[in-house]
Chains A and B, each alone.
Chain A
Amino acid sequence: MAVKRDEKKMTDLTRQLRSIIAQIEALRVEIAQLDILISEYRQTITTLRNLKDLGAGKEVLLPVGRIAQVGAKLEDVDKIVINIGSGISVELPFDEAIQQIEKEIVAALALREALERAMVELYEKVEALSQKIREHGHAEAGEGKKDEGEQK
């Protein structure tokens, strides 16, 4: 009876451990996606600044699908259309548009920090659970030896 209870406890602990590891993995994926997003935002700011510096009249290539590009003339980069979410984009003056993207970067970095904190907490839980599993394993091994001794 005690053996069955111990087995159940061990199974529960292992299940909890697997679940936490899965959560850590999910957080890791989310953080990686945020890193890509932050890097894209920074790249966007650089590109917009470069386009503004190049000025009106420059010839640019517009991508059409993955394989084709057509030439176009750049106008003044004074107004930028920014996607603000929920399927809405708005035209903003250059500086406001840059500020908007920087705000998005700050928000993404704050979210990243929160996810990292959550991951640290989960790692602590993994450590505690692993310790419990080790202790449980040792206790089981001890009981097994005791049983063998009694049988002899």
Chain B
Amino acid sequence: MKESKSKELIEFLERLPEGRRIYLNLGSLMVEVSKDEAIEFLKKQEEKEE
């Protein structure tokens, strides 16, 4: 279920038009990242869960 959620999010990010800001929530901080960085982050999270 979690795996499919990550895939769903990756697809969502890939469809996102260029220029949209993306942030990583790190504790109480929100760090702006590129689309590729966000996708990479999700892929790594997915690997950890497996």
Contacts and interface: CB of A to CB of B under 8 A. Distances in A.
Chain A: interface secondary structure?
strand
Given A86-B5, A89-B30, A90-B16, A81 B21 contact: yes
A88 B12 CA distance: 11
B25 A87 contact: yes
For chain B, the bracket of interface size reads: 10 to 19
A83 B26 CA distance: 12
Contacts of B23: 81, 88-91
A90 B5 contact: no
Contacts, number: 45
Interface in A83-114: 83-92
B30 A86 contact: no
A91 B41 contact: no
Contacts of B20: 90-92
A88 B25 contact: yes
A91 B38 CA distance: 13
A85 B10 CA distance: 11
Interface string A59-92: 0000000000000000000010101111111111
A102 to B, nearest CB: 15
B46 to A, nearest CB: 9
Given A87-B24, A91-B22, 9 more contacts: A81-B21, A87-B26, A87-B45, A88-B9, A88-B13, A88-B24, A90-B16, A90-B22, A91-B23
Interface of B: 5-6, 9, 12-13, 16, 20-26, 30, 38, 41-42, 45
